[in-house]
Amino acid sequence: MPDIKLLNIVGARPQIIKASAISRAISNFYADKITEILVHTGQHYDKELSGVFFDELEIHKPDYNLGVGSARHGRQTSMMITGIEDILLKERPDCVILYGDTNSTLAGALAASKLHFPVIHIEAGLRSFNKNMPEELNRIMSDHSSTLLFAPTNAAFKNLMHEGFRPENAPPYTLDNPKIYLSGDIMYDNTLFFAQLAEKKRAAILNELSVKRDNFILVTIHREVNTDNIVRLEAILTTLKSLSEEFLIKFIMPLHPRTIISLKTRLERLYNELLACKHITIVPPVSFLEMTLLEKTSKFIITDSGGVQKESHFFRKPCLVLRKETEWIELVNNGTAVLVDADPEKIRNEFRRFMNDGSDLEYPGFYGDGKTAEFILKEIMMMF
């Protein structure tokens, strides 16, 4: 087996978490065969959205941090492309691994494919069929700049086939002859690996937040369509506040900074009411072990996050999804996730339903066997 140099690109919170699954599998199975270089674009820079994951998940510190920070989409993405291109020319890796659908993913895809470095896309093929979402454009363009595409679900694999990718392609794989795989989801690997550790190390978070197991609702909101549209954000939070008062159940809300910024600057009165409400606890983003523990011990989950929707399923919890559509369509078809959009009526009805009963729901294994990272690395090694 040859020695290969693999360059990982991360930038946003979920990508750092995802990269930890690949890093762990490299250490376990290919430590003497793969040299890993980690590039952080700096898209996320607050300790709660970045540094905490490196410490807690024991990932080695980035070899490069481009420090691009926050900016409009074009500006942010272009700064990343410039920085990544320089690093690629210096390091000349054998391949580049990209995760998910953020601007950091897109920048990596464009920089690497134009320089003819093979791109490996993990979480390929997901589609919301809503091109108003920045992530949807990032997904499509990243997939079509990739040589190996690892689809986490059947639906994602089928989406790639509909876009012309052919499962029968034979090696050698290139940008014009790419290979698609149904691989499972590396986030399921992570949940299996970290769930027990979370109990051991961070169960104290329940006391710190004054909640009891199965007796609180976990909420996250960060999607652009909700944070930047004040009508939607107000409708969601006003409805959740009234439900917390009606059911006398605690809502724990680790909110992304962009949600807090919108609340403080554009919905100040509602923000103060939420802070004063004794059933609602707004906290800064929590660490992955804390989040894992909160997901595992919540009654159910309300979110617009992609990752949190799936983790809800991993922990056998129903999920209200604050969006019109989702890429994780199997959850909706299965009835464990419900698209409530920002519609007060839908949120109320589904909330009541899950408060009263959710025991008839089933949680099939849609996301692989928990060894997806190992599978991905084996296939990458076969390419060389």
Pair of tokens at residue 300: 């159910």
Q: Which of 288, 328, 354, 375 binds ligand UDP (CB under 6 A)?
A: 288
Contacts of 129 (CB under 8 A, 6+ apart): 136, 325
Q: How far is the CB of 384 from ligand UD1 (least distance, A)?
A: 30
Using the rule CB under 6 A, is 103 a contact of ligand UD1?
Answer: yes
Using the rule CB under 6 A, is 266 a contact of ligand UD1?
Answer: no
Q: How far is the CB of 142 from ligand UD1 (least distance, A)?
A: 11
Using the rule CB under 6 A, is 259 a contact of ligand UD1?
Answer: no
Query: Candidates 54-62, 244-252, 257-265, 371-379 — which segment interacts with ligand UD1 by CB under 6 A?
Result: 257-265
Q: Which of 44, 127, 139, 299 binds ligand UD1 (CB under 6 A)?
A: 44
Using the rule CB under 6 A, is 307 a contact of ligand UDP?
Answer: yes
Using the rule CB under 6 A, is 286 a contact of ligand UD1?
Answer: no
Q: How far is the CB of 266 from ligand UD1 (least distance, A)?
A: 13
Using the rule CB under 6 A, is 336 a contact of ligand UDP?
Answer: no
Using the rule CB under 6 A, is 18 a contact of ligand UD1?
Answer: no
Q: List the single partner that 46 binds among ligand UDP, ligand UD1, none, CB under 5 to 8 Å by kind.
A: ligand UD1
Q: How far is the CB of 135 from ligand UD1 (least distance, A)?
A: 5
- 140: exposed, middle or buried (Cβ count in 10 Å: 0-12, 13-18, 19+): middle
Using the rule CB under 6 A, is 11 a contact of ligand UDP?
Answer: no
- Per CB under 6 A, contacts with ligand UD1 among 221-250 are 222
- Per CB under 6 A, contacts with ligand UDP among 179-208 are none
Query: Candidates 27-35, 205-213, 285-293, 347-355 — which segment interacts with ligand UDP by CB under 6 A?
Result: 285-293
Label the pairing between strands 34-40 and 148-151: unpaired
Using the rule CB under 6 A, is 13 a contact of ligand UDP?
Answer: yes
Using the rule CB under 6 A, is 222 a contact of ligand UDP?
Answer: yes
Q: How many residues touch ligand UDP (CB under 6 A)?
A: 15
Q: How far is the CB of 34 from ligand UD1 (least distance, A)?
A: 27
Using the rule CB under 6 A, is 121 a contact of ligand UD1?
Answer: no
SS3 labels along the chain: CCCEEEEEEECCHHHHHHHHHHHHHHHHHCCCCEEEEEEECCCCCCHHHCHHHHHHCCCCCCCEECCCCCCCHHHHHHHHHHHHHHHHHHHCCCEEEEECCCHHHHHHHHHHHHCCCCEEEECCCCCCCCCCCHHHHHHHHHHCCCCEEEECCHHHHHHHHHCCCCCCCCCCCECCECEEEECCCHHHHHHHHHHHHHHHHHCHHHHHCCCCCCCEEEEECCCHHHHCCHHHHHHHHHHHHHHHHHHCCEEEEECCHHHHHHHHHHCHHHHHHHHHCCCEEEECCCCHHHHHHHHHHCCEEEECCHHHHHHHHHCCCCEEECCCCCCCHHHHHHCCEEECCCCHHHHHHHHHHHHHCCCCCCCCCCCCCCCHHHHHHHHHHHCC
Closer to ligand UDP at the Cβ: 148 or 322? 322
The residues of the shown chain that bind ligand UDP, judged by CB under 6 A, are: 13-14, 17, 220, 222, 254, 285-286, 288, 291, 305-308, 311
Contacting positions for ligand UD1 (CB under 6 A): 12-14, 43-46, 49, 70, 101-103, 134-135, 222, 257-258, 261
